[in-house]
Amino acid sequence: MSHLESNPENPVRHDWSDEQIQAIHDLPFPELLFQAQLVHRRYHDPQKVQLCTLLSIKTGGCPEDCSYCPQSAYYDSGVPSQDLLDIEQVLAAARQARDHGSTRFCMGAAWREVRQGAEFERVLEMVRQVRELGMEVCCTLGMLNSDQAKRLAEAGLTAYNHNLDTGPDYYDQIITTRTYEDRLRTLEVVREAGVSVCCGGILGMGETVRDRIALLRVLSHMNPQPESVPINALVRVKGTPLGDRSPVDPIEIVRIIATARIVLPKSRVRLSAGRTEMSVETQALCFVAGANSIFSGEKLLTTPNPDLYHDRALLDKLGLSPLEGS
Ligand code: SAM
Ligand code: DTB
Ligand code: SF4
């Protein structure tokens, strides 16, 4: 506990060692949750949960080989491919998301990287128009160069999602078509363009606790730290190499969320994919541990998510309420 006690104010630290993070992670569970709550209350309203809605604007046929992903062209997951949507289709989905209480609209494309041209121009227009609805806008489009990041910033993009997924040592077991460094480079150009960074990982891919800790160390060393950190539990999709993994233990999910909350005190920690398989109790513990955002709506990108009715009941039962837009 010495590292916490020696920092009673819990300032944002960028020098956590793996050993220190591991010590937090391994605390007796009630103590871990208590420490996470202290930090959570210092920086966040513990009764508010931000609702974000995802839309896959271009689906399937992706040239990357991410072992978890149903959209990779390497695997036969049965997900139908879909070209880039029209602006009107996207706006209709964004309006509906806003009307259902989402304050952030996230558009995902199954691209390895963005290419200049008509499709990128269309995405920029989507960003402009969703922004005009008064929502935060996030995109996840694969790798970007600095010019593309600047153009997204000019279009009004709030945040760019680009996950590191796991620790650096395990990365090449999961993806071989790009490197951890490629990922870090895109995160840098996003930051330099003045766009908020959304960067997190996936639990349950066969990684060790050390790999999870290493991911949290990499995120915590970023300066500034990512404004939002999605923690996904692997959605096991048949046909992908990770389709028959065993589910991740719920207590392990809560431990990672609590640890993330402590080492990333100001970040919004988003309990992301995998909630359809989580009990109400597990999700409740995740909120207690400091998660303060979820994806809302019955679909993530290609896989199911709890519907609005269930999520409203979940938040009501716990006395939590959706964060309102600014
Ligand atoms: N192609 C872009 C990229 O990889 O950055 C954007 C879309 S990609 C689907 C966005 C993120 O979704 C991935 O980085 C990964 O973390 C997450 N993801 C994909 N498939 C998943 C699965 N089966 N379970 C949990 N998370 C998943
Ligand atoms: C993130 O970390 N999780 C979201 C969002 N960022 C883009 C995506 C989850 C995808 C789950 C699998 C699917 O629905 O295709
Ligand atoms: Fe493509 Fe992104 Fe899926 Fe990887 S995670 S296969 S880059 S869509």
Query: pLDDT (tens digit, 9 = 90+) per residue, 83-96?
Result: 999 999 999 999 99
**Mean pLDDT, the chain, integer:** 96
Q: Are 83 and 118 in contact (CB under 8 A)?
A: no
Give, for ligand 1, the residue of 52, 115, 140, 162 to mutate: max count of ligand atoms closer than 8 Å to Cβ: 140
Give, for ligand 1, the residue of 58, 163, 238 to mutate: max count of ligand atoms closer than 8 Å to Cβ: 163
For residue 280, give every residue at least 6 positions away whose Cβ sits within 8 Å of its Cβ, in sequence order, or none.
314, 317
Name the one residue in this structure whose structure tokens are 């997951």: 77
| 226-246 average pLDDT score | 98
Residues enclosing ligand 2, CB less than 6 A?
54, 70, 106, 108, 140, 161, 163, 200, 230, 232, 235, 272-273, 300-303
Give, for ligand 3, the residue of 57, 71, 205 to mutate: max count of ligand atoms closer than 8 Å to Cβ: 71
Give the pLDDT score at 33: 98
CA 267-272-87 angle, to 5 degrees, is: 95
Residues enclosing ligand 3, CB less than 6 A?
62, 64, 66, 69, 71-72, 110, 112, 142
Amino acid letter, 122: R
CA 226-275-166 angle, to 5 degrees, is: 40
pTM of the model: 0.96
Give per-residue pLDDT as tens, 135-194.
999 999 999 999 999 999 999 999 999 999 999 999 999 999 999 999 999 999 999 999
How close is the Cα of 158 to the center of ligand 3, in Å? 21
Give the pLDDT score at 3: 47
Does the bond joining 28 to the residue before it have cis omega, within 30 degrees of 0? no
Q: Using 50, 70 and 90 to split pLDDT, how confident is the model at 325?
A: confident
Measured from the Cβ of residue 5, the count of other Cβ atoms closer than 10 Å reads 7
| 28-56 average pLDDT score | 98
Q: Which of ligand 3's atoms lies nearest the C-alpha of 74?
A: 6
Residues identified as active-site: 62, 66, 69, 106, 138, 198, 270
Which-ligand-closest: CA of 305? 2
Distance CA 13, CA 325 (A): 29
Q: Is the CB of 232 under 6 A from ligand 1?
A: yes
How close is the Cα of 167 to the center of ligand 3, in Å? 17
User: What structural domains does the chain harbor?
Assistant: 15-314 (3.20.20.70)
Q: Is the CB of 60 under 6 A from ligand 1?
A: no
Measured from the Cβ of residue 133, the count of other Cβ atoms closer than 10 Å reads 15
Which-ligand-closest: CA of 198? 2
